[in-house]
Structure 1
Amino acid sequence: MDKTGAIVRVGIAYVLAFGAGGAWLAWGPRTSSLLLDGLMADLIATLVVFGASRMYRNSSFYDAYWSVLPPLLMVAWWVEIGSGGDRTRAWLVLGVIVFWSIRLTGNWLYAFPGLHHEDWRYAMIRERAGRAAVPADLFGIHVVPTLQVFAGMLPVYAVLTNTGRAVGGLDIVAFVIGVGAVLLAFCADLQMYRFVARRRPGQAMDRGLWSWSRHPNYFGEFAFWCALGLFGLAAAPQDWWWVLLGAIGMYAMFQGASIPMMEQRSLARRPEYQGVIDRVPRFVPRPPRRRNTLAGSESEHAA
């Protein structure tokens, strides 16, 4: 199956998934909370995508769900809540989310080779789970990321349900951080693609943004969710204790799972990567250590 055919199948799965989630919101039993209704619809859509993943034996069916769902969820909430009050902040949030969604989904469209390929981490998760491979696939690869993204959308719900505060300085900061985060991740991915096209076997990336952070794309993604959290704080400062849960969860995921897995793989495949670890910051971008300074420190230590 070629790439176009694979993307069409993924697209059909998403249409069915979002159709099922939308049907739940429109005609399914309601709870006492629109937030909980949105979560139920999100999980139903996730189960449809999981069914497609199992049908094609490829959990990368889920990859673009991460970036396609947030703008749709925000619009669904907005329609249900209505357009009363000052919605300037909501339009700013929607603009940042759509910008982020286009960038990340476009990156997936560019990099996705077809259904003959599956993210190596998914196979690792199922292999480690042994006989529990199917539950690990359902929860570890599909449901848990859905819950993480939903948590990241909590401040968006706060923005839509709290319209009494006018747009202020914190909103401007959040907007700038959100747009900057998307541009940072875009530039990092572009630099990596260009490097991969020309690198020699075993060479490790340590150029451009990747000389300031070993994972600038992850940092950009984290900064985007922080921006949503700041929008939530601007709309409902009294809810500070839950509007930042999504950003905290994203940070924990990157630091506790995504980055360790990527670095273990890079160390196994690229002998030069240990030198990158010694020089380049792990996550938050900052100037790298100079090679000569590092070499001098090692010499002093050896002496």
Structure 2
Amino acid sequence: MPTNAIPSLAILAMAMGAAAILAERTRRSGFIDGIWALSTGVAALVLILGLSVPVERPLLVSALVAIWAVRLGRHLIGRTLRGDGDDPRYAALRREWGEAAPRRLLLFLETQAIAGWLLALSAAAAAARAGPLGAQDGLGIAIVLIALAGEWRADRTLAAFRRDRPGEVCDRGLWGWSRHPNYFFEWLFWVGIAVVGVGGAEWRTALVLVAPVSIYWLLVHVSGIPPLERHMLESRGEAFRAYQARVSPFFPLPPAKDQAGSHRDSSQ
């Protein structure tokens, strides 16, 4: 167990507790994911600072994770401040939980704290790989940069589309190849970190791979695509159903022929 494992988990637990209080008081749950991203980045940096290895790779991974956390946290919190409603995923959970919503939201967010801690542990394990920087690190950096640029581009495209054509389903640019390109590039970021760190001690490599495996499972099967697509089907109906029929859910792929020939929004 890394030296700073408990303090890093405590940071995430306290941050998500604060996020639960903020979401309850403001009824703007979009703050939650932004706080999660920032606190996961801080937890990863705390873990990496506790490593007893040469500084080159820890500095590299720290810089990449810091860029990821600040960009994503700033984007999500900024979007929430500019918006005027609750995140539909959390709003649906509140309706489902009823009077127990405050307590269950706190418990739910503390599980997210554990998920963020696993990502932070995975980043620290990647930073701990022995040996000088080399081609493997270069490949990981390239994947990370592609992921950051792709997620930024997807977010910008969707924001512009929402301004121009509110209430429709966005299939412009990357959104025409994946229904959730922001989620795909989020996963790809952690693939890049894993590429930097894979190799060497078996236990450490297994921990490095926790991040891409767990983030894929969460985004595709748990808290990402399933609740969001349920909301989109309820709010956009047949327009979104047609979008589902022609566009890949996660991995960017050439779209099937558009039978309806229309553009609509994926609030994705």
| TM-score of the aligned structures, taking structure 1 as reference length | 0.75
Structure 1 unaligned residues grouped into runs of 5+: 1-30, 296-303
User: In the superposition, relative to structure 1, how do residues 251 and 164 fare at CA in structure 2: closer, same or farther (>3 Å)?
Assistant: closer
User: In the superposition, relative to structure 1, how do residues 210 and 163 fare at CA in structure 2: closer, same or farther (>3 Å)?
Assistant: closer
- Is 1:53–1:62's contact at 8 Å kept on the other side of the alignment? yes
Structure 2 unaligned residues grouped into runs of 5+: 262-268
Deviation per CA, 1:275-302: give whole Å up to 9, x if none. Answer: 211111110001111237x99xxxxxxx
Residue 225 (structure 1) shift: 1.8
Deviation per CA, 1:52-92: give whole Å up to 9, x if none. Answer: 444545544423212212332233234444xx543222222
Residue 196 (structure 1) shift: 0.9
Q: Is residue 225 of structure 1 aligned with residue 190 of structure 2?
A: yes
Instruction: Quote the Cα distance in structure 2 between the aligned partners of 1:269 and 1:195.
Output: 17
Instruction: Quote the Cα distance in structure 2 between the aligned partners of 1:151 and 1:183.
Output: 24
Q: Which residue in the other structure is 1:165 paired with?
A: 131
Q: Is residue 34 of structure 1 aligned with residue 4 of structure 2?
A: yes
Q: Which residue of the other structure, out of 248, 259, 266, is the alignment partner of 2:232?
A: 266
Residue 48 (structure 1) shift: 3.5
- Greater CA deviation, 282-291 or 57-66? 57-66
Residue 165 (structure 1) shift: 1.9
Q: Secondary structure at the match of 2:169?
A: coil
Deviation per CA, 1:5-49: give whole Å up to 9, x if none. Answer: xxxxxxxxxxxxxxxxxxxxxxxxxx9953233213322333344
Higher relative contact order (CA 8 A, sep 6+): 2
| TM-score of the aligned structures, taking structure 2 as reference length | 0.84
- Is 2:88–2:231's contact at 8 Å kept on the other side of the alignment? no
Letter in 1 for 2:212: A
Q: Secondary structure at the match of 1:167?
A: coil
Instruction: Quote the Cα distance in structure 2 between the aligned partners of 1:45 and 1:98.
Output: 17
Q: Secondary structure at the match of 1:284?
A: coil
User: In the superposition, relative to structure 1, how do residues 144 and 185 fare at CA in structure 2: closer, same or farther (>3 Å)?
Assistant: same
Q: Is residue 129 of structure 1 aligned with residue 97 of structure 2?
A: yes
- Is 2:169–2:239's contact at 8 Å kept on the other side of the alignment? yes
Q: Secondary structure at the match of 2:234?
A: helix
Q: Is residue 286 of structure 1 aligned with residue 253 of structure 2?
A: yes
Residue 272 (structure 1) shift: 1.6
Letter in 2 for 1:267: L
Residue 212 (structure 1) shift: 0.7
Instruction: Quote the Cα distance in structure 2 between the aligned partners of 1:110 and 1:46.
Output: 18
Q: Which residue in the other structure is 1:120 paired with?
A: 88
- Greater CA deviation, 148-157 or 277-286? 148-157
Aligned length: 259
Q: Is residue 103 of structure 1 aligned with residue 71 of structure 2?
A: yes
Letter in 2 for 1:220: F
Q: Is residue 91 of structure 1 aligned with residue 59 of structure 2?
A: yes
Residue 115 (structure 1) shift: 8.9
- Greater CA deviation, 31-40 or 252-261? 31-40
- Greater CA deviation, 70-79 or 92-101? 70-79
- Is 1:66–1:146's contact at 8 Å kept on the other side of the alignment? yes
Residue 236 (structure 1) shift: 4.7
Q: Is residue 187 of structure 1 aligned with residue 129 of structure 2?
A: no
Residue 181 (structure 1) shift: 0.6
Structural RMSD (CA)? 2.7
Deviation per CA, 1:79-111: give whole Å up to 9, x if none. Answer: 444xx5432222221222122123212312431
Instruction: Quote the Cα distance in structure 2 between the aligned partners of 1:280 and 1:181.
Output: 20
Deviation per CA, 1:236-261: give whole Å up to 9, x if none. Answer: 55522222122212111111132122
| Structure with the greater alpha carbon radius of gyration | 1
